[in-house]
Structure 1
């Protein structure tokens, strides 16, 4: 278990590109050893927030810390893993060669690589070139490349997109096992049904944090056990509140 009870903490976090505000004054904490879902429609700022957490997005204003250090600090490079939407692997290398290559950057052993490949269910394809795999298998190679370093914090940008329901279920089981072992996971999705797998949810819309709550609290606050419908209710309430404040001003 991480010695830091809070794995990620943001205060007054703003990210601006040109004259466009991408993230607007976010305040939240992410508990260590839990799965936190980052949910919201396309364009809500999910990827920008994740890029800021892993240290590849410049922050305009506010603070963002990971494991007690400023996001992007050099000491965090071996503690934070990041899986982007686009697979970051070499198609002309085998699955094993890819995982061992990325593992070598973190001092991982061949045994670590084998463990990571097994964790994503690709043992039977370890010697195949990544380019010869199916789309779902290819994306799992990226996940194995992140797992091989045994990161304390793992950030995943929509890791289940394009996967069939069986593979999605298997991945979420793996994520749950990692959280039980002490890994902190921040997982983005625009599929609300996946929210039920998370301990905590960050609900984003147009760069604003609408709420941080549990799936049960989302259902209660949104007045529905259908989490997508509950989220839509919260969005409508937020939009209505903004309209009222604009009229008042």
Structure 2
């Protein structure tokens, strides 16, 4: 379980996260939805402990973050691929597995599993510099789940990929969820919300709505996410 309580973060004098509180249950997919610059990436970085909030707390399984002891339980797929172009796909995975101190035999077996999951087995010896953008996305996903994390953070994982590959990737997220992984995924693509169990709508660093996706959509007349976001942002504007 992830618990965020009254979280604030500024960069200089600019407030980026403003009083966000939310609880994300285990084994669910939670979507962080908002336009570019709304604070989604900063919120993820605060949750995993890469940066520290000015006020408030983040707890993962009752452990205050940041905490190095939690790194083995967390997987992170950044928006920009953090891969080494001059290494092959499998050597990239060996590098990231080494960072997680995985034993050689376990690492090699797990590499086979994750490469198969993202449909890159046939390309495992290819240099990453020769990969397409979609292949790099899939390899980044493989690297983030290599150590079988309990919680997976995905920052805009489907940006710039075609609809067919997007469907494949979301199918993979659903498989991970059913295997018990908690997934937090940020996006500005409205139709991806319906793939998730819960949605957190973020606007100007504020949490303007958070609930089960079905409950949120039930508040609209059209059943569309676009209407939901407009309604929530108008309410937030009136409150301010």
Q: Do the structures match in fold with TM over 0.5?
A: yes
1:105 aligns with 2:93: no
Confirm or deny that 1:50 pairs with 2:44: yes
Are 1:93 and 1:130, in contact at CA under 8 Å, matched by a contact in 2? yes
Q: 1:9 aligns with which of 3, 6, 18?
A: 3
1:21 maps to which residue? 15
Q: Determine the C-alpha separation between the residues in 2 that align with 1:235 and 1:185.
A: 25
Q: What is the rounded CA distance, in whole Å, between the counterparts of 2:33 and 2:60 in structure 1? A: 20
Q: Secondary structure at the match of 2:8?
A: strand
Gaps of 5+ in 2: none
Structure 1 Cα separation of the partners of residues 115 and 88 of structure 2? 11
Contact 1:222 1:234 in 2 (8 A): no
Kept in 2, the 8 Å contact 1:223–1:230? The answer is: no
Kindly provide the CA deviation profile for residues 174-215 of structure 1, in whole angstroms up to 9, marking residues without a partner as x: 111111111000000000100001000111000100111122
Q: Secondary structure of the equivalent of 2:119?
A: coil
Residue 213 of structure 2 is matched in structure 1 by: 215
Q: 2:216 & 2:44 partners in 1: Cα distance?
A: 22
Contact 1:96 1:114 in 2 (8 A): no
* Of 133, 149, 153, the match for 2:131: 133
- For residues 208 and 189 of structure 2, the distance between their equivalents in structure 1, rounded to whole angstroms, comes to 17
Partner of 1:119: 117
The aligned residue for residue 64 of structure 2 is: 70
Q: Is the 2:5–2:58 contact (alpha carbons within 8 Å) kept by the matching residues of 1?
A: yes
**Structure 1 residue 111: Cα displacement:** 0.7
What is residue 240 of structure 1 aligned with on the other side?
238
Q: Matched residue of 1:109: which SS?
A: helix
Q: Decide which of 64, 85, 92 is 1:91's aligned counterpart.
A: 85
1:39 and 2:37 aligned: no
Q: Name the structure 2 match of 1:246.
A: none
Aligned to 2:229: 231
- Residue 236 of structure 1: SS of its match in structure 2? helix
Q: TM-score, normalised by structure 2?
A: 0.95
Give per-residue Cα distances to partners, 1:45-97, cap 9 Å, x unaligned.
10000001111112100111112211220110111111101101100111111
Count of residue pairs the alignment pairs up: 236
Shift of 1:217: 1.7
2:52·2:66 contact (CA, 8 Å) conserved in 1?
Answer: no
TM-score (norm: length of structure 1): 0.92
Aligned to 1:222, the other structure's residue is in SS state coil
Q: Report the more deviating stretch, 13-22 or 211-220.
A: 211-220
Shift of 1:34: 0.5
CA contact (8 A) 1:131 1:138 kept: no
String of CA shifts for 1:135-167, please: whole Å, max 9, x gaps.
111121111111111111100000011111111
